[in-house]
Amino acid sequence: MYDANKPFGIVILLIAVIGIVGVVFMQMKIARMAAWLSVGLIILFYFLALLKIHTSFSFIPFHAISKFLARQIKFKWGWWLLVAGPALALAGALSEKSKYKMPTQQQAVNNAGK
């Protein structure tokens, strides 16, 4: 099961790295886009996990047993961490004020002359 999800995990990690690079270089449009993409990918990943759970016991001819087995699969704390990252990134990307502003070239010249 984990091997099938590696490419999807790599895509989520790549989007996160792009968002971090956008924040480091103060490109808020890139950071917002990465935050929204990561939220969308996590929602898609959760939906696909639910579909996988509900179809993994379809080979059993007795529907009551397959439904019982599907109910026994529970999501654990890792899902909360997987959701917390994009939620924090989205909250940070949507905040109105930026605490850190790059000085313009004129401000840098004025500060260098003092």
Q: Please write the tens of the pLDDT for every residue from 26-56.
A: 888 888 899 999 999 988 888 888 787 777 7
0.85 exceeded by pTM: no
* Contacts of residue 18, Cβ cutoff 8 Å, sequence gap at least 6: 30, 34
What is d(CA 83, CA 15) in angstroms, rounded to the nearest whole number?
14
What tens digit of pLDDT does each residue of 64-108 get?
777 777 677 777 777 788 888 888 888 888 776 656 566 666 665
Q: What percent of the chain has pLDDT over 90?
A: 11
Give residue 83's pLDDT. 84
Give residue 17's pLDDT. 92
Give residue 34's pLDDT. 92
Taking 3-state DSSP, the helix, strand and coil percentages for the chain, each rounded to the nearest 5, stand at 75, 0, 25
